[in-house]
Amino acid sequence: MKIIHQNGYSVDELALYRHTIYKNLVDCAKALIGAMRQFDVEPDDSRNRENCEFIMDFSVDPDPHQALDSKVGEAISSIWSDTCISRVFDHQNEFYLMDSAPYFFDEVKRIASPDYIPTEADVLRARTKTTGIYETRFQMGQLSIHMFDVGGQRSERKKWIHCFENVTSIIFCVALSEYDQVLLEESSQN
């Protein structure tokens, strides 16, 4: 909504998402490697065994101004290109992987460059765990729209009721791409 109704993001605002995108990229790679291990899928390229170990041991630097290590980008790119990935995706509804993971993997070389500034497309695909309630207000013709982003984690769901006071309409948005995926917090439930 910010992009459509509030003139988008400034370069400084985009830069604030860099750490989140680095974290999403590495977390997605770790989830993919975890699925490879869960389903006994070995990399076809023997160098990717080392790349998998490197990624699993890697932690994103908490400093939001720190660039991503270029070796991380190279390792993820190599793993993503490995022919074994199609065998992992045969099980894609049996493990959690962000729906934007393929996008980030395809863009890994750009994201891992030292002068990386996220694009609006990157920001749209970035995910953070929402805690609390965030409100965005905008005008659409004569209507004043108040949009609330509420936490999706179980502990946050009790707080939703407070958003419904003096409301005339509610629109729930869900991801169609996740209808057959397991929950991140409970892998035996959809």
Annotated binding site for Mg(2+): 130
**Which residue stretches of the chain are H helix?**
2-5, 11-15, 18-38, 47-57, 70-81, 85-89, 101-106, 108-111, 120-125
How far is Cα 99 from Cα 181, in angstroms, rounded to an integer?
Answer: 10
How far is Cα 160 from Cα 168, in angstroms, rounded to an integer?
Answer: 16
Annotated binding-site positions: 99-100, 124-130, 149-153
Query: How crowded is residue 162: how many other Cβ atoms within 10 Å of its Cβ?
Result: 10
How far is Cα 20 from Cα 28, in angstroms, rounded to an integer?
Answer: 12
Beta bridge partners of 146: 137
Annotated binding-site positions for GTP: 99-100, 124-130, 149-153
